[in-house]
Amino acid sequence: MRKAEYFSKDFEWEDLRAQVENDPSFSYHLLPFEPTSFSLNSVATDQSRSSAADGSHAWNSFHHRHSSGKFFKERRYLLEEFPELVNWKGNSKVLEVGCGNGSTVLPILRGNENIVVYACDCSTEALDRVKETIDASNIAAVEHHFHPFCCDFSVTTFPTWLACNPCRENFTQTSQQRLTDGRGESETDPNYTYALKESKCCVGGVDFVTLIFTLSALPLKRMPESIKECFSVLKPGGLLFFRDYGLYDMTMLRFEEDKRVQFREYMRSDGTRSYFFCLDTVRDLFVGAGFKQLELEYCCVKSVNRRKGKSMQRVWVHGKFQKPV
Ligand SMILES: C[S@@+](CC[C@H](N)C(=O)[O-])C[C@H]1O[C@@H](n2cnc3c(N)ncnc32)[C@H](O)[C@@H]1O
């Protein structure tokens, strides 16, 4: 795939929006959510189907069905979009949330031999897949650089070995002190590293969090707390990299009416969910959790399915957010 494909704006999001909002065949996507009798019968209600156990179970089945490895696609564009993952001076730590089969983990490990990747997923099947992917990659001394673990971050906190409570509090107090005594490092320095000495109580938090096509799998109502959890394990000055489905992406428009479970939230037949983000929602969620917005935009890419001869309009949201120093 061409690198430039991910940076180019093949079309304007506002043009797509006008097209979708004026097309009567898409009108049900725009309506305030009201479960119809049809959707009540064919898709279980949000309340009954959205328990965390259901979500993890659905993702577990998904990864079981896609265990052949064919589903795996390395996200080669990732380091172009988020160059800090390779340019950061010195050793760094990243938490990849919802790692799946390792599409995001692998390019990071390949691109930066000084990085340590902590990767979680709510699905144990996914964790088996990611271990297979990384084992097959022949990256030197990978056992020191890659630590997978099971966690559903929509209902539980990240483990305390990643960032214990005193360290999490210390991040906040230290950043407040820096603000009041005026001796803090420049917020604009991209290579700012948190000076707190790592203690043995935990790994001391992370420099980066990656949320790549994972947040959309959560019910909207669980997103604010889940993002706060990501915020709490980041060191001050640390960065969160976000990429996910954008409003009016082709995959949203393909969902039939009975797959709607909330406004802009859909559930596939296999029980996995997908939310489609507009920029305002992303901004509100991340700024609301305490982040500073550095980058936020739609990526609008036309891709052609050569076999079917169809052109597809893909919309993703790209975001970069920083925990204030
Ligand atoms: C679309 S995949 C994205 C995988 C990976 N981030 C990538 O770049 O390809 C979404 C992943 O999030 C995981 N997931 C969904 N809900 C989760 C949750 N609440 N906590 C942790 N992982 C979750 C799923 O099991 C799945 O592996």
Q: Is the CB of 102 under 6 A from ligand 1?
A: no
213: left (phi > 0), else alpha (psi -120 to 50), else beta?
Answer: left
Q: Which residue has the higher pLDDT, 305 or 125?
A: 125
Q: According to the model, what pLDDT value does residue 40 have? A: 42
Question: How many residues are present in the chain?
Answer: 325
Q: Is the CB of 107 under 6 A from ligand 1?
A: no
Q: Where are the domains of the chain?
A: 3-27+55-181+195-322
Q: Assign 311 a pLDDT band (cuts: 50, 70, 90).
A: confident
The answer to whether 105 and 99 have CB atoms below 8 angstroms apart is: yes
Q: Is the CB of 123 under 6 A from ligand 1?
A: yes
Single out the residue of 323, 321, 324 nearest to residue 82, CA to CA.
321
Beta bridge mates, 302: 313
Beta bridge mates, 170: none
Q: Report how far ligand 1's centroid is from the alpha carbon of 121 (Å).
A: 6
Residue 308 has pLDDT above 60, yes or no: yes
pLDDT digits (tens, 9 = 90+) for 19-42: 999 999 999 999 998 765 444 444
Q: Report how far ligand 1's centroid is from the alpha carbon of 100 (Å).
A: 5
- Which atom of ligand 1 is closest in space to residue 73's alpha carbon? 9
Residue 103 has pLDDT above 50, yes or no: yes
Residue 268 has pLDDT above 70, yes or no: yes
Would the pTM of this model clear 0.85, i.e. be above it? Answer: yes
Strand order in the sheet with 265-267: 260-262, 265-267, 273-275
Residue to substitute in 122, 134, 210 for testing ligand 1 pocket (most ligand atoms within 8 angstroms of CB): 122
Of the listed ranges 80-89, 97-106, 141-150, 181-190, the one predicted with least confidence: 181-190
DSSP state of 268: -
CATH of the structural domain 3-27+55-181+195-322, one choice from 1.10.3720.10, 2.40.160.210, 3.30.2130.30, 3.40.50.150 = 3.40.50.150
Single out the residue of 294, 30, 310 nearest to residue 188, CA to CA.
294
Q: Report how far ligand 1's centroid is from the alpha carbon of 19 (Å).
A: 31
Please tell me the residue having the least CA distance from ligand 1 atom 27: 100
